[in-house]
Chain A
Amino acid sequence: MIDLQDVHKSFDGVEILKGITTRFFPGKTNLIIGQSGSGKTVLMKSLIGLHRINKGKILYDGRNLPRMRFKQLRNLRREMGMLFQGSALFDFMSVLENVMYPLEMFSSMTRKEMEDRARYCLGRVNLPERSFALHPSEISGGMQKRAAIARAIVLNPRYLFCDEPNSGLDPVSSLVIDRLIKSITEEYNITTIVNTHDMNSVMEIGDNIVFIKKGYATWQGSRQELFTSENQDLNEFIFASGLFKDLKKAHVVLHPELYPSSQTGAMPSDAV
């Protein structure tokens, strides 16, 4: 479990996170949703300590990350895996070497054991054998994402972070990646946190959803609770998404009193 208490982060005096308090649960896919530029990536990088936060606590099962010394942080990072938005595979290494890299850094395995483990993980994400020796630039975006997931899970992490796992992917590949993340999460009881602005993913894999707007976590709940939310910003976000047309009817039928504006057909104007 990861507990955030009043997390603040600013860059050059501009406050991006203005006091986020929320909680992420093990064995669940926890989603951080919000518009582009709302600070999802900053929040995720603050969580893993890539950004130093200005104020607040980030408790990993009780251990406060911002207060950690370098050694402790390194030990904690051994329990983390991260899938970056652009995959961030090292382009000077082959796919297999990329996946072996965290093992080289953190484990005392022999080369053979490392290679076996890397091959197992690449198999787990259904990457074809023939791509193992290729360089990241030689495989497709979807395959890069899968290789990056394999790299993220190779150390058997307790915490898995995914920043927009299906950005730049076609709908089918997106669904495959989403399901892969969810099944890995449940299989290994990982505390998984996924950044997304894609409502399709939200409906597909969201167990615990945190909505970020203007630097605050303004809403938290489950997929089902999304339908009955009274948070106007969140509703605008949902309406403006691709699922808007399907959901609008359901909303209007189910909760006509909550959405007077959608009844008259007026759309929120500032949602993108």
Chain B
Amino acid sequence: MFIRNFLATIGRYCLLMYRVFAVPDRWRMTLRQTLLEMENLGLNSLGIIIIISLFMGAIMTIQIKLDMDNPLLPAYTTGLATRDTLLLEFSSTIMCLILAGKVGSNIASEIGTMRITEQIDALEIMGVNSANYLIWPKIVAFVIMMPFMVIVSMTLGLLGGYAVGLSSDIITVAEYQEGIQFSFMSYYVFYSIVKSMVFGFIIASVSAYYGYYAYGGALDVGKASTNAVVNSSVFVLLSDIVLTNFMLA
């Protein structure tokens, strides 16, 4: 029973994506909508990304330094560990989990509301492919914004650690700088960006799915957006395992 439901859901999701990625009827309108969504889903999320990355960078630096305060470990350990954690996981996966909460619920409730107020039906009978019209711009905009947000997060995270060096004597600036430059692999940045774009696709499309198939009233839109956040987070984590195996191993 569970397996049957799961397969049915996957099937419906794939059918929806098939409709979403039809060629847009009217490019001008679609592109305009995509720009608006880049602002709505991307730029408007920058605040939370900046705050969280800054603080997490600082906190990681402090904790790693305190935990690894061992004369046998080289001085660059703290900076190196902070940098690699940021580059490999934090700025892509953890940030996407946070964005799943913000962006996922936003997408699901917006589309869900249009569904239960029959605006989607109204679009359909006017010959509009509503899935394409409503969902395509959101997915595309969010995926495009992702690399940008990842880089902002990495930068701010590193600055957070730097701020610890500047403002306290837990770690010296020189020590930190040496650490974050030690055996730097630019591939990690690339890896993080690719991952985040996949996660962005998952978050936007899974959330759109739950909104698009909402049925009932306002309460059901609430449930749809909860489902959107929970399930897109789970799928982000699952795909993280797959991608890590694939790209790093």
Residues of A with Cβ closer than 8 Å to B?
Answer: 45, 48, 50, 74, 77-78, 80, 82, 84-86, 88-91, 101-102, 105-106
A81 to B117, CA, bound (A): 17
Annotate B122-138 by CB proximity to A: 1 below 8 A, 0 otherwise.
11111110000000000
Contact check, B125 vs A77: say whether CB atoms are below 8 A apart: yes
Residues of B with Cβ closer than 8 Å to A?
Answer: 117-119, 121-128
Contact check, B118 vs A88: say whether CB atoms are below 8 A apart: yes
Contact check, A101 vs B126: say whether CB atoms are below 8 A apart: yes
Contact check, A106 vs B127: say whether CB atoms are below 8 A apart: yes
Contact check, B126 vs A105: say whether CB atoms are below 8 A apart: yes
A105 touches which of B118, B119, B127 (Cβ 8 Å): B127
A77 to B128, CA, bound (A): 11
Contact check, B121 vs A50: say whether CB atoms are below 8 A apart: yes
Contact check, A88 vs B122: say whether CB atoms are below 8 A apart: yes
Contact check, A82 vs B125: say whether CB atoms are below 8 A apart: yes
Contact check, B118 vs A77: say whether CB atoms are below 8 A apart: no
Contact check, B127 vs A77: say whether CB atoms are below 8 A apart: yes
Residues of A within 8 A of B118 (CB): 84-86, 88
A48 to B123, CA, bound (A): 13
Residues of A within 8 A of B126 (CB): 77, 101-102, 105-106
Q: Distance in Å from the Cβ of A99 to the closest Cβ of chain B?
A: 12
Contact check, A88 vs B117: say whether CB atoms are below 8 A apart: yes
Contact check, A90 vs B125: say whether CB atoms are below 8 A apart: no
Residues of B within 8 A of A84 (CB): 118, 121-122
A88 to B119, CA, bound (A): 5
Residues of B within 8 A of A105 (CB): 126-128
Contact check, B119 vs A45: say whether CB atoms are below 8 A apart: no
Q: Distance in Å from the Cβ of B28 to the closest Cβ of chain A?
A: 11
A82 to B124, CA, bound (A): 11
- Apart from A74-B127, A88-B122, A101-B126, 17 more pairs, CB < 8 Å: A45-B121, A50-B121, A77-B126, A78-B127, A80-B125, A82-B121, A84-B118, A84-B122, A85-B118, A86-B118, A88-B119, A90-B119, A102-B126, A105-B127, A105-B128, A106-B126, A106-B127
A146 to B118, CA, bound (A): 17
Contact check, A50 vs B119: say whether CB atoms are below 8 A apart: no
Residues of B within 8 A of A78 (CB): 127
Residues of A within 8 A of B121 (CB): 45, 50, 82, 84, 88
Name, among A80, A88, A105, the residue most crowded by chain B CB atoms within 10 Å (CB to CB).
A88
Looking across the interface, which residue of chain B has its beta carbon closest to that of A81? B125
Residues of A within 8 A of B119 (CB): 88-91
The 28 sampled A-B contact pairs (Cβ below 8 Å) are A45-B121, A50-B121, A50-B124, A50-B125, A74-B127, A77-B125, A78-B127, A80-B125, A82-B121, A82-B122, A82-B125, A84-B121, A84-B122, A85-B118, A86-B117, A88-B117, A88-B121, A88-B122, A89-B119, A89-B122, A90-B119, A90-B122, A90-B123, A91-B119, A101-B126, A105-B126, A105-B127, A106-B126
A50 to B127, CA, bound (A): 11
Q: Distance in Å from the Cβ of A108 to the closest Cβ of chain B?
A: 14
A91 to B128, CA, bound (A): 17
Q: Distance in Å from the Cβ of A212 to the closest Cβ of chain B?
A: 20
A105 to B128, CA, bound (A): 8
Pairs of residues from A and B, 3 with the lowest C-beta to C-beta distance, nearest first: A88-B118, A84-B118, A88-B122
A50 to B115, CA, bound (A): 12
Residues of A within 8 A of B117 (CB): 86, 88
A106 to B128, CA, bound (A): 10
Residues of A within 8 A of B125 (CB): 48, 50, 77, 80, 82
Residues of B within 8 A of A85 (CB): 118
Looking across the interface, which residue of chain A has its beta carbon closest to that of B122? A88
A88 to B124, CA, bound (A): 12
Residues of A within 8 A of B128 (CB): 105
A88 to B123, CA, bound (A): 9
A90 to B122, CA, bound (A): 9
Residues of B within 8 A of A89 (CB): 119, 122
A82 to B122, CA, bound (A): 8
Q: Distance in Å from the Cβ of A138 to the closest Cβ of chain B?
A: 16
